[in-house]
Amino acid sequence: MTPLVLVHGFMGGSAQWGPQAPLGDKRDLICLDLPGFGRNAGLSAVDRIEDFATWALNDLSARGVERFDLLGHSMGGMIVQDMIRQAPERVNRLVLYATGAHGVLPGRFETIETSMARARDEGARATARRISATWFLQRTSATGYDECAEIAEAAGIDAILAGLAAMRDWSGADNLPNISADTLIIWGDRDRTYSWPQIDLLWQNIPKSNLAVIPSCAHAVHLENSNLFNLVLEGFLGSGPIDCGPAA
């Protein structure tokens, strides 16, 4: 079966996908650590979404993985949009999870520039813990927050600033109509980072797109309601050809 590649978001890492391990019963799961983050925190971060995408494609080639299903979360969702732009023939099915096509993140809990200024003032660890809290509906009291924050703390200040700059300076909106892969968009209806207009833009402009809205979740649906997240994802990846028709 086609392997599934999971690309984490800003201040994420491969370790965050533990609740998705059951998906590996039917296919290989390949959980990347982007340069500057997670287990690759020692690598120099890059400050362009396009360069993250190129790095990921090269890393997969080095592993001998040439064709795959592809999921990207948050900033990772931007990266996978650029991966499929660069190498559409390598992507079987695409999952855009809690992400958007505009890197300036309109409607975010705070602007990118504010996050950059606060990161410089407060330091990497405080930034990691503060922003991680916004990913959960129950903030710091949520199950999974401490582990998620610990993963985020692996990122140094240079990687944090580079990641924020990469998002701020990127847009994939013009390429959405060119995405030919069957695509699933997953969104938590209480997401504080990506508001509905970002999700609607993906849904209305990717030709073969499907939308799953998960109730009572914020930005970390795969941790907040992992059972439903996994069920929706497995249903999409395991389904036959999809005839979406025009978006509503």
The string of pLDDT tens digits covering residues 180-191 is: 999 999 999 999
User: Residues 61-84: pLDDT tens digits?
Assistant: 999 999 999 999 999 999 999 999
Average of pLDDT values for 132-161? Answer: 98
Per-residue model confidence (pLDDT) at position 24: 96
Predicted local confidence at residue 85, as pLDDT: 98
DSSP H helices, the chain, are 49-62, 75-86, 112-122, 124-134, 145-152, 157-168, 196-205, 221-224, 226-237
What is the pLDDT confidence band of residue 211, given thresholds at 50, 70 and 90? very high
Copy the structure tokens of residue 195. Answer: 């508001």
* Residues 88 and 181 sit within 8 Å (Cβ to Cβ): yes
Confidence check: pLDDT of 248 > 80: no
Token look-up 């800003």 returns 10
CB-based contact 188:221 (threshold 8 Å)? yes
96-136 pLDDT per residue, tens:
999 999 999 999 999 999 999 999 999 999 999 999 999 99
Instruction: Return the pLDDT at 35.
Output: 98
Confidence class of residue 239 from pLDDT cuts 50, 70 and 90?
Answer: low
Task: Tell me: pLDDT of 241 over 70.
Answer: no
Which of 1, 39, 56 has the alpha carbon at shortest distance from 23? 1
Distance in angstroms (rounded) separating the CA atoms of residues 132 and 152: 7
Chain centroid to Cα 57, Å, comes to: 15
Tokens 């929706």 — which residue?
Answer: 232
Residue 240 has pLDDT above 80, yes or no: no
Residue type, 228: L
φ/ψ of 118, rounded to 5, equals -70, -35
Q: What is the mean pLDDT of residues 43-56?
A: 97
Q: Where are the domains of the chain?
A: 4-237
Radius of gyration of the chain (CA): 16
* Mean pLDDT for the stretch of residues 192-200: 97
- Write the CA distances from 113 to 52, 63, 117, 180, 199, integer angstroms: 21, 36, 6, 34, 22
- pLDDT above 70 covers what percent of the chain? 96
pLDDT of residue 111: 96
Architecture of domain 4-237 in CATH? 3-Layer(aba) Sandwich (3.40)
